[in-house]
Chains A and B, each alone.
Chain A
Amino acid sequence: MGGAGPGAADEHRPVTVVPGAVPRRQLCFAWGPAEVLVCETLFGRTGEGAPSTSRVFVVRRDQDIYIQTLRKLFNESHGIFMGLQRSEEELAGKSRKAQLVQVSKNYRSVIRACMEDMHQAAISTRDPALQGQYSTQVSILSAMELIWNLCEILFVEAAAAGPLLLRLLDWVRLHVCDVDSMVREVLSSENPSKHKLFWNVVDIFVLQGRMDEARHLLSKEASANPTSMNMYKILDDLMKKMPVPSLGNTQTLTELELKWQHWHEECQRYLQDGTFASNPHMESICKILLGDEDAILEKKELMTTWYHFLVTRLLYSHPTVKPMELRFYAQSSMDLFLGGESSPEPLDMILMAAFEFEMHQVIKECSIVLSNWWFVAHLTDLLDHCKLLQSHNLYFGSNMREFLLLEYASGLFSHHSLWQLGVDYFDHCPQYGRVYLELHIERIPLSTEQKALKVLRICEQRQMHEQVRSICKIMAMKALRNNRLGSALSWSIRAKDAAFATLISDRFLKDYCERGCFSDLDLIDNLGPSMLLSDRLTFLGKYREFHRLYGEKRFPEAARLLLTLMTAHIAPCSFWMTLLTDALPLLEQKEVIFSAEQTYELMRCLEDLTAGNPDKQKFQDDDVETTKVEMLRLALARNLARVIVKEGTVEGS
């Protein structure tokens, strides 16, 4: 599904072959957040008899997310993206533009850095398959940078006539990379001007408008070949005098055009009077200077691409080309260069769309061709910040920027370690970002508590209460399954999940009833204010306090607390019997602990329990229980007797 982009609805629909699926078998599918589940069906296979296995495939939408070496691209561009979102829109005119151009350059430098890493990886690996993979990536990254750079010149910087040409020249120079090695080879040879590549290198320099370098090389030829000295001097002079647009405001376009016209006529004169007739190389250079299309086209091999041809053509025939005129030259350059021999490739179509200022076409074509969402998402976001995309609304989703960012971030979320980057992207999608985040965040595998804490922090910062609850519940359930009651409780306290805290408290109490002692005292003794989260938790804390008081032999306090637990209905009815049994040793103490009134209350509790219990059978059937009740009654009666005597004595005295 690599890059089934927003334009996938029309004729360019890319076909993805599901590897491993039986050809021609009917497949069914279900959309996931970032993947598609594909499954083989039984449809049309009725005649086959023996049932064969059906498999389920996971098809990822953004494959590049999983390429190890591209992670640097995702991580570093995240920082740039965030910087752009934070950047001040108030900055006026020029400084804002400079800021945006800088952002664009930063993105490109990340692409280039990645390309270099990938290139290094390709060189250093011995595995040919891997090498091929890296090389493919290098060429994809290189194409991405090429497109981005052009968009930067045309849309972000929106270079005006004059500087526009200089920028395009830089663009071409940056992306024709094998010149330097050729130059080195020529210059390091014993006699450079006799080198077989000498004139090629000179031509390349001229075609790229690198006049100083071309002249430097030519001077070698002149010194080695005194007979052509005069000819050389004239050509050198022409090249030196060639007027070029300046970046500053030192000259107006009209001035430039005038100077250029003058210079052009001078070149024309020399060519016509046959000054260079004896040297075909120099003559051809002069023709190039004159913008002779055929002469330039002869050097097709040296230019390699139609857009190089376009820029060279502009340099020597329309140096003051306006942005809006580019489309005509671009189209005719492509036609001339390809000459019907080959048809334009996707990259050509994208660049052409850029020259035609069809921004949406550029984005659409890139979405279809590239196997990642990174490029279109970031480029579109940048163009949106340049206020270039506002008028365009999609018939689905909110707008193109948000649509693409959502797709990209969804891809990040499907990755086990890049998902955190995705959060920030969702945050900057005003319309659907929140919904997407909510859906994705719940699907992050919570392998360790630390990871869970990170996810939780993200949700808490965004007031995503539902998700906070669910994550804590998952973690609490996990802890419970692992018999880590303490951890389970602290997770439910974090989520303020009273129901779950009750459940865990019950587990504690059950354990206590079975074993006769508490586990996890360090936790229960230190519940603090969190005790108030659920009634059962309060009871657990208080009940433990009773045990502590009892252990410290603070019997009257212990007795009072025990009674309160029942009378104030803090204890669940099911636990009353245990509490009453706990009262037994207190009743049996040498000293009288329960007052007469307290004893009456205890008796009432016991009666409530036995009488009020609809399941009376239970007590009758269960011998142990019956004995317990009998013993309690006896103990209570004895205590009452003792306390009446005691209180009577005290009052009497």
Chain B
Amino acid sequence: HGDVSAKFCSRRSADALRPLPPRLQSPDVFATAGTTICDNRISIWSSGDLGNAGLNGEYHGEPRLLCDIQHNGDVMDMQFLDQERIVVASSTGTVTIFRHHQNNQTLSANHRWEKAHYHVDQDTSCGGAACTGVVCSNPEIVTVGEDGRINLFRADQKDAVRTIDNADSSTLHAVTFLRTTEILTVNSIGQLKIWDLRHQRNEPSQIFSLAGDRVPLHCVDRHPNQQHIVATGGQDGMLSIWDIRQGTMPVSLLNAHEAEMWEVHFHPSDPDHLFTCSEDGSLWHWDASTNVSEKPSFLHQGGRSTAYLSHSTINQSVVSAWLSNDPTKDRMEITNLIPNQTLSVNSLDVLGPCLVYGTDTEAIYVNRQLFA
């Protein structure tokens, strides 16, 4: 499945990595982080020979380290704010913006919110709580943590714009934007919550939850085009698809990994494709596009019925990709991209034809021909 080139970082697994927003057509630069206690670094990599990418699409370069910088605490999550700035969530509860100076390939700390997440008392020497998730929509930054707190920062402001203390009684594991003013969070008692940041009320505007055992949810992503479709991954490795327009329970539950699903991502430009990675050492590519293409297309049948059917057809093709009620999902094509991996795949990201993932064997892998 495409060429995979690997690079051992020789430090703790790339626990979080994100490609930069693409410049030109190719996502060439990505960031990784290691999570050791004594030597924790944020690194910027070039995913191949920038100049020498062959015209026939062959890439021979290993990922190349451009620059790195020390980081305090384990890196729990990170996101690019823009082409030059990365926001990093630390296990110490600190949130830091690093700037990547591209002219001389260096990294520097740009801004730091010490103990954005904390237990009991922000001023004591200890008591920082791990910041588990961060999401950016320049200039806004939202972070969540083990302290059940939600912070809203602006890149240019010293203090938090908004803090919701005790937003959740359990641990918040991940956060993502639903719309510009709304965010989605998942927690350790199987709940998906929508928060409207315009409201001053410190309560979620909607709560969705798994039925039965309240299995913790670890990751969340929203469909890039159809904002009502949300995917989450749980401790039991199950993939849940939610339609936040209706009901309080997931539309479908798909048996997936054998252990914690650490990340889930819709492909940003081709959202019929979904990627998930897990503690069980697998990385799955879910392809729902075959499902759509095999549906009869009413639009091309012509005749009088076209106008009548077109509306429902559009809806159907929209629904069919992820929300189809077919519980067996037999048409969904699922591929494990890394057979024989024994240790956890902690993070992944996709952009264009590129897939980047990091594992507990302290390696990052770049797959540059995802749809080859």
Contacts and interface: CB of A to CB of B under 8 A. Distances in A.
B139 to A, nearest CB: 28
A451 B12 CA distance: 13
Nearest to A482: B119
Interface stretch (A16-24, A73-81, A123-131): A73-81
A69 B216 CA distance: 37
Interface in B177-207: 188-191, 207
A68 B119 contact: no
Interface stretch (B33-41, B48-56, B153-161): B33-41
B243 interface: no
B303 interface: no
A78 B361 contact: yes
Interface string A441-471: 0000001111101100100010000000000
Contacts of A346: none
Interface in A253-281: none
A526 B361 contact: no
A452 to B, nearest CB: 10
B209 A71 contact: no
B263 interface: no
A230 interface: no
- Residue from B35, B259, B342 whose CB has the most chain A CB atoms within 10 Å: B342
B169 A486 contact: yes
B39 A487 contact: no
B170 interface: yes
A230 to B, nearest CB: 50
Given A68-B11, A526-B189, A526-B191, A75 B363 contact: yes
B120 interface: yes
B36 A416 contact: yes
B190 to A, nearest CB: 8
Given A71-B362, A75-B363, A528-B213, A83 B91 contact: no
B314 interface: no
Interface in B64-87: 74, 76
Contact of B120 (A78, A483, A519): A483
A523 interface: yes
B344 A522 contact: no
A487 B260 contact: no
B11 A486 contact: no
A305 B119 CA distance: 64
Nearest to B39: A68
Interface residues of B, number: 50
B348 to A, nearest CB: 16
Contacts of A117: 10
A75 B8 contact: yes
Contacts of A82: 342
Nearest to B216: A490
A574 interface: no
Interface secondary structure of B, over-half rule:
loop
A540 to B, nearest CB: 13
Select the residue from B171, B211, B216, B363 with max chain A CB neighbours within 10 A: B171
Interface residues of A, number: 43
B10 A487 contact: no
B319 interface: no
B38 A530 contact: no
Given A450-B76, A485-B169, A528-B212, A523 B189 contact: yes
Contact of A71 (B10, B127, B190): B10
A530 B11 CA distance: 39
B347 to A, nearest CB: 11
Given A68-B39, A448-B74, A529 B212 contact: yes
B169 A487 contact: yes
B28 interface: no
A72 interface: yes
B189 A486 contact: yes
Top 6 A-B pairs ranked by shortest CB distance?
A: A486-B169, A520-B169, A482-B119, A486-B170, A417-B12, A523-B169
Interface of A: 68-69, 71-72, 75-76, 78-79, 82-83, 117, 416-417, 420-421, 424, 447-451, 453-454, 457, 461, 482-487, 490, 493, 519-523, 526-530
Given A71-B11, A416-B36, 15 more contacts: A72-B362, A79-B342, A417-B11, A417-B37, A449-B188, A450-B76, A457-B259, A484-B169, A487-B171, A487-B188, A490-B171, A521-B169, A523-B189, A526-B209, A530-B214
Interface of B: 8, 10-13, 35-39, 74, 76, 91, 119-120, 127, 129-130, 132, 146-148, 166, 168-171, 188-191, 207, 209, 211-214, 216, 235, 259-260, 279, 340, 342-344, 360-363
23 contacts: A68-B11, A69-B10, A72-B10, A72-B362, A75-B8, A75-B361, A78-B361, A79-B361, A117-B10, A450-B132, A454-B279, A457-B259, A457-B279, A484-B169, A484-B171, A486-B189, A487-B146, A487-B188, A519-B166, A522-B169, A526-B191, A526-B214, A528-B214
